[in-house]
Amino acid sequence: MTTHYPTLLNRHPQNPILTAADWHYPAHTVFNPAATLLKDGTTLLLCRVEDRRGHSHLCAARSPNGIDQWQIDPTPTLVPDPVGFPEELWGIEDPRITYVPELDKYAVVYTAFSRHGPGVALAFTQNFRDYERVGIIMQPEDKDAALLPRRIDGRWIIIHRPVSGARAHMWLSYSTDLKHWGDSRIMMEARWGAWWDATKIGLSPPPIETPEGWLVLYHGVRHTAAGALYRLGLALFALDDPQRCIKRGSDWIFGPEAPYEQVGDVGYVAFPCGYTIGSDGDTLHLYYGAADSSIALAAGSIQMLLDWLRQQP
């Protein structure tokens, strides 16, 4: 698409970088992956895999360069456990990974699809093979959650997205033990009317910690006569108080414009759940689900995202 708007995130020419055809066992679609860089420099994606029942589980894919040569687990990595955790009855979806230095563990926050709707669940892992489940931490309807990597003023913070009536905003909740959450506060509201992010917004990947604040990529859902359009925007929150929004961009910065984002099980969806940061400390590798069907990669500069945000009205 020709445009005079700046391109802040560049699609990788090999997109989509992963599809169900790469899997070693029957998979209908693979999308909405969480991402992290392991200590040895390997990129790990925890991919949402949907089967032909419509239920999802998570499967890890590892690559030395984050682009290709993916080693995909031969069997599902994290499968729903509806006996021990009834909230996982209809699958687990859309993970977000946060490495927590205090625990030397990765927190995986995911959507547990219960009989009563989607809620937020938490598990910890050190190796992406063995998981300790905390279980459901936010009852339905709630999703799009991620943990911040450290305590602030002694408390852990989770960002999540409960639905209230027809509207859905981003909230923050606090905990001292990572199991019991409360003191919930609105972090950022969906806009109204014609806005690209009217009515329903949600966190995309976990916030990016920068010297200027927590850089948050969030998705906005625009309902049109043709269906929903998922696009991405930016906002910055105070490092010592993530409830405080320093700046919110007006324009969306990334939307479903490539064919693989427009055509699939759910067309016109670009849905990132994870990123890695390059060795220069600035290059953002954003991993996203394309049209609820495949996995794609886009790259940008964190500094350029911050500069763009600063220039927004």
Q: Which string of DSSP letters, residue by residue, matches 169-213?
A: -EEEEEESSSSS-EEEEEEE--B-TTSTTBSEEEE-SPPEEETTE
Please say whether the beta carbons of 234 and 203 come within 8 A.
no
Query: Quick check: 94 binds ligand BMA (CB under 6 A)?
Result: yes
Candidates 50, 73, 197, 292: give the one binding ligand BMA (CB under 6 A).
Answer: 292
Structure tokens at 304: 């350029």
Instruction: Give the nearer residue to ligand BMA in terms of CB position, either 230 or 287.
Output: 230
Helix (H) or strand (E) holding 260: helix 259-262
Q: Whose structure tokens read 């919930």?
A: 184
Please say whether the beta carbons of 294 and 31 come within 8 A.
yes
Structure tokens at 219: 């998705």
Shortest separation between residue 129's beta carbon and ligand BMA, angstroms: 24
Using CB under 6 A as the binding criterion, the count of chain residues that bind ligand BMA stands at 9
Shortest separation between residue 226's beta carbon and ligand BMA, angstroms: 14
Query: Quick check: 33 binds ligand BMA (CB under 6 A)?
Result: no
Q: Which residues contact 266 (CB under 8 A, 6 or more apart)?
A: 228, 291, 292, 293
The 246-275 contact track toward ligand BMA, x by CB under 6 A, reads --------------------x--x-x----
Query: Quick check: 32 binds ligand BMA (CB under 6 A)?
Result: yes
Query: Quick check: 289 binds ligand BMA (CB under 6 A)?
Result: yes
Shortest separation between residue 310's beta carbon and ligand BMA, angstroms: 30
CA R_g for the chain: 18
Shortest separation between residue 266's beta carbon and ligand BMA, angstroms: 4
Query: Quick check: 88 binds ligand BMA (CB under 6 A)?
Result: no
Chain residues that interact with ligand BMA, rule: CB under 6 A: 32, 93-94, 230, 266, 269, 271, 289, 292
